[in-house]
Amino acid sequence: GISFFRIIQKKGLQFKNAIIFFFIGIVVNIISAYVNQGQAPMVTFLSFGTTYFFILFYFLLHDLQPSRKFMENIIIIFAILYSLFYIYQVLAYPNLIFNSNMLEDRGTIRLRIEGNGFLVLAYFLLLNRYFLNRRLINLLLAFGFFIILLVGGFRTLSFVAFLLSGLMFIKLVKYSIMNYAAVLVLLALFVVGLFQFRGTSRIINEMVSSSTEQKAEGSGYIRFEELHYYFNIYPQNKSYFIMGGGLPGSKGSYARSMETVQLGYGFYWADLGLIGFYIIIGAITLLGLLWYTIKAIYIKVPPDNLYISIYFIYLLIVSLTTMEIYRPGIFVVEAIGLYLIDVGVIEDKFSEK
């Protein structure tokens, strides 16, 4: 917070206005929670503070000004630590080591440990490096991170990351028969390798099976029922569609009523991704979030920074059906990504002079 006031007038903060708009939306949502739900403003404020306020890390980074190389190394180190902790928790199953929900599903043990954002960002970073410098170590590490993502059993995240890898390849690799043939051979070997191992093969088959079953359910699929509830039953007045209903917090009556809906009917607003964010957190906050996300996607960056734009495309796509873009822990990763875009743009301008 202090860093925000220290560097607010500093030039080069491409995402300053979007983040300020995002926080205006949070203030409006705190008011909505009080007016519509009777939830104390401090309770809502503290609920936001444990996750959403970490986007302010963007201003702290601009205040401290760490180098791009240092921050990219931090991303990779955190991704390695996340992978090790993840493997340790899977091996320790059913004993719970970290604060996370765990279940056996889709041929694997599904769990959520904060830090997944670093894993995916590091994956795109290392793939970006490989496409530019062809160092095999970068490719091997990227594949390792992708396998950890796949082992988690989250089909949307894995599928979108895989597709966007192809987009990065097209943008970074100069077209030639040799270049494309070499990468396609490596890709084929990787895919074949996945199906040679019983664990990853079973996970992929279970993912496909799960998607087929949900498609067969049609309108009975729970997300359709959740959508109906949160758009037709939950809103008490039209202000919900602008201010949001309010982020539940603590153990008050509002939080208990939301918990009753979740436990009794299985309706979780976060399952609706950005739509759920809109109806609970509000249109203003959503516009701020989309403002800096879309700007990060379309802003012109040097080739070695392309991975950040690809990462924000990934967040936007997967968050149509998941809470990935506002999941606990993700705002720190987003702040780092936005800061690195600023640094990359500034370095690119200086290199042109």
pLDDT number for residue 124: 97
Average pLDDT over residues 61-70: 93
pLDDT number for residue 178: 72
Interatomic CA distance for residues 280 and 243, integer angstroms: 8
Q: Where residue 316 falls among pLDDT bands split at 50, 70, 90?
A: very high
pLDDT number for residue 224: 85
Average pLDDT over residues 207-212: 47
Residues contacting residue 89 through CB under 8 Å, at least 6 positions apart: 96, 97, 98, 100, 102, 111, 113
- If one counts every other C-beta atom within 10 angstroms of the C-beta of residue 1, the result is 9
pLDDT number for residue 156: 82
Residue with token string 């699929």: 221
Q: Where residue 212 falls among pLDDT bands split at 50, 70, 90?
A: very low
Interatomic CA distance for residues 166 and 173, integer angstroms: 10
Contact call for residues 330 and 295 (beta carbons, < 8 A): no
Average pLDDT over residues 162-173: 89
Interatomic CA distance for residues 192 and 145, integer angstroms: 17
**Is the per-residue pLDDT at 104 higher than 60?**
no
- How much is the CA Rg of the chain, to the nearest whole Å? 21
What is residue 245's three-state secondary structure? coil
**Is the per-residue pLDDT at 101 higher than 70?**
no
Greater pLDDT, 237 or 223: 237
pLDDT number for residue 92: 72
Residue with token string 């008490």: 236
**Is the per-residue pLDDT at 20 higher than 90?**
yes
pLDDT number for residue 109: 60
Q: Where residue 266 falls among pLDDT bands split at 50, 70, 90?
A: confident
pLDDT number for residue 110: 62
Q: Where residue 190 falls among pLDDT bands split at 50, 70, 90?
A: low
Q: Where residue 98 falls among pLDDT bands split at 50, 70, 90?
A: low
pLDDT number for residue 6: 81
Q: What share of the chain in percent tops pLDDT 70?
A: 82
DSSP 286-341: HHHHHHHHHHHHHS---GGGHHHHHHHHHHHHHTTTSSGGGSTTHHHHHHHHHHHH
* Structure-token pair, residue 90: 């899977």
* Structure-token pair, residue 162: 């895989």
pTM: 0.88
Identify the helix (H) or strand (E) that includes residue 105.
Answer: strand 102-105
Backbone angles phi, psi at 24, to 5 degrees: -60, -40
Average pLDDT over residues 237-242: 94
Greater pLDDT, 150 or 108: 150
pLDDT number for residue 24: 95
Average pLDDT over residues 198-206: 49
Q: What share of the chain in percent tops pLDDT 90?
A: 52
The partner residues of 275 in beta bridges, in order of sequence, read: none
Average pLDDT over residues 168-174: 87
Average pLDDT over residues 279-299: 96
Average pLDDT over residues 127-145: 91
Interatomic CA distance for residues 330 and 65, integer angstroms: 21
56-70, 157-171, 187-201, 315-329: least confident range:
187-201
Quote the Cα angle for 332-306-122, to 5°: 45
Average pLDDT over residues 119-124: 96
Q: What is the mean pLDDT of the chain?
A: 84
Q: pLDDT tens digit string along 33-45?
A: 999 999 999 999 9
With CA atoms as reference, report the closest residue to 336 among 50, 81, 78, 26. 78
